[in-house]
Amino acid sequence: MSDLSDLYQSVILDHNKRPRNRGKLPTANRYATGDNPTCGDNCTVYLHTTPDGRIDAISFEGSGCAISQASASLMTTQLKGKNLEEAEKAYEEFARIVKTGEEPEEFTELAAFAGVHAYPARIKCATLSWHAAIDALKQPEGQP
């Protein structure tokens, strides 16, 4: 069994304690909610997108474990400025890291999530907010 410090790296603990972009986004024009029915965790992602479909503001709300909260916080910092295609590519990279434990192609804070792969039950915690963000990008425009 791998050491817990591999799972709970300082980057994750920091994002859990001081989440970035947490709370409702007053200017949001798109949003989506994801649920993890096995544990009751939930995450709503709010976006404001430009007319050409780029995220220029993003926030999240919800409750969950340290892994899910830190992942949501980090996700908001990673997806800002991206359009749907780029966001999906970023998610694929993140999913590869949490599922295989491999390092990211370029070094980013995402590397902190490589430890999750040793805990298959927790992969869903890490990906919940990313799914909600991609889902939000696909929603028609509307106020939350």
CB of 126 to other proteins, least distance (A): 11
Query: Which one, of 71, 78, 118, 112, lies nearest residue 99 by Cα?
Result: 118
State the SS3 of the chain.
Answer: CCCHHHHCCHHHHHHHHCCCCECCCCCCCEEEEEEECCCCEEEEEEEEECCCCCEEEEEEEEECCHHHHHHHHHHHHHHCCCCHHHHHHHHHHHHHHHHHCCCCCCCCHHHHHHHHHHCHHHHHHHHHHHHHHHHHHHCCCCCC
Query: How far is Cα 126 from Cα 35, in angstroms, rounded to an integer?
Result: 12
- 61 touching other proteins, by CB under 8 A: no
Q: Which residue, 40 or 51, is less far from other proteins as judged by CB? A: 40
Q: Does 132 bind other proteins (CB under 8 A)?
A: no
126 binds other proteins per the rule CB under 8 A = no
Give the interface size with other proteins as a residue count (CB under 8 A). 19
* In the complex, minimum distance from the CB of residue 113 to other proteins, in angstroms, rounded to a whole number: 15
Binding test (CB under 8 A) with other proteins, winner from 32, 43, 67, 110? 67
State yes or no: residue 7 binds other proteins (CB under 8 A). Answer: yes
Q: How far apart are CA 57 and CA 34, in angstroms?
A: 19
Query: Which residue, 6 or 93, is less far from other proteins as judged by CB?
Result: 6
111 counts as binding other proteins under rule CB under 8 A? no
Choosing from 74, 125, 128, 133, the residue that interacts with other proteins (CB under 8 A) is 125
Positions that interact with other proteins (CB under 8 A) = 1, 4, 7-8, 13, 38-42, 63-67, 69, 119, 122, 125
